[in-house]
Amino acid sequence: MAHRLSLVTSAVVLDGIEMDEFAELEPYLTRRQAGQIEPAGWRVQVSAASDCGQEPGAAATPVTLAAGDPGRSRTRSSGVTDVYNLLTATHFHLDVTARRLGICLDPASLPQRLEAVQVIRGLLLGLEAASGAQFLHGGVLSVAGSGVLLLGAKEAGKTSFALSAVRANRDVALVSNDKSILRPGGIAQGLPYAVGIGPGTLSQLPELRTLATRWSGGKAMVWPSQLAPALGGRLARAVRLDQVWVIRLDLSAEQVTHRPIPAEGGTGGFLPDTLEFSNAMSPRWLYRLAGLPDPGLGPDGRGWLEELPWLEVAGTPWPRWDPAAVARVVDRRAGEERIPR
């Protein structure tokens, strides 16, 4: 059973201030009450800073939060814990027994708004992991309905290949850029993570600069829902995977080439480390307190991928390339679920 969040509109209104960052959760949501987001079985209440109450004192237990932020936690009673971020001043109230999470923040603070999104998203991922979903580091395209998983080491060119394909081909949809959820049967789904676009890709797609909500590590951070429309393409919710492409960007090449990777290589013999789902923003403190697993890729997920044909796709995708020409090596086609916008 898939767990879903709940939201009333594409922007949450808290004390009259629109939280636009929550709009990125919209494709993964159903609709409920205003001002509340509710992962299945859990209720998450986001409130303004005036309602936060006192922070845990110096005697509270030190705790490490996402990205290494220092925090303090105080246990009030069995299953009830207050957690406070000493850097951002975001306050969390967790009641595991009642399955409630309170987030108190200043709606005018971008760091606090982003942290709220990270924790809500993290709760969703933890619930999915508890139900058997797998998570991996890789992008996903739907090429004429055929699901393609893009793998590669850091800076291998996954984003360049994906965005070039979406811009140049009407039958290609972006499912995810870098982090994906994998369900039984090989169904891949995107996740609401901002896409980091580096200088090389921006030099080819300068129009994306204006979409950056912020910059991090020299990369423009753009939400997935903005990317596809800006490139004249579309976003798809999910697709059944048909093949795996290991990407290798080579700007000196004159064209994109592909070659099969022997089956004995599999996920264990070819770039195994690139499959691991890692996220410095994961709220592991929440997983520990709520008894949820840390999302990752286990033996089941690797087994699903090993059943697929693997190809190495190398070269330069600029100014354009035709992914359908590579995808035709597999005859099976799978349906996709498009995100209503």
The DSSP-derived string for 9-54 is SSSEEETTEEEGGGGGGGGGEE---TTEE--TT-EEEEEEGGG--P
Whether residue 331 has pLDDT greater than 50: no
Q: What is the DSSP letter of 255?
A: S
Between residues 63 and 52, the one the model is more confident about? 63
- pLDDT tens digits, residue range 4-18? 444 433 344 443 455
Q: Residue 144: what pLDDT?
A: 86
Comparing 23-32, 91-100, 252-261, the range with the smallest average pLDDT is 23-32
Q: Residue 7: what pLDDT?
A: 42
Q: Which two tokens stand for residue 256?
A: 């994109």
Q: Which residues pair with 142 in a beta bridge?
A: 147, 173
Q: Residue 34: what pLDDT?
A: 47
Question: What is the C-alpha separation between 176 and 195, in angstroms, rounded?
Answer: 9
Residue 274 confidence class, pLDDT cut points 50, 70, 90: low
Q: What is the mean pLDDT of the chain?
A: 79
Residue 1 confidence class, pLDDT cut points 50, 70, 90: very low
Q: Residue 105: what pLDDT?
A: 86
- pLDDT tens digits, residue range 67-91? 889 999 998 888 899 999 998 889 9
Whether residue 223 has pLDDT greater than 80: yes
Whether residue 286 has pLDDT greater than 90: yes
Q: The tokens 């209503």 sit on which residue? A: 340
Return the closest-CA partner of residue 33 out of 3, 5, 59, 52: 5
- pLDDT tens digits, residue range 142-188? 998 889 999 988 788 898 999 999 987 888 999 988 888 888 888 89
Return the closest-CA partner of residue 5 out of 146, 116, 153: 116
CB-CB neighbours of 200 under 10 Å? 15
Query: Is the pTM value of this prediction over 0.85?
Result: no
Q: In the predicted model, what is the mean pLDDT of residues 186-199? A: 86
Q: Residue 27: what pLDDT?
A: 58
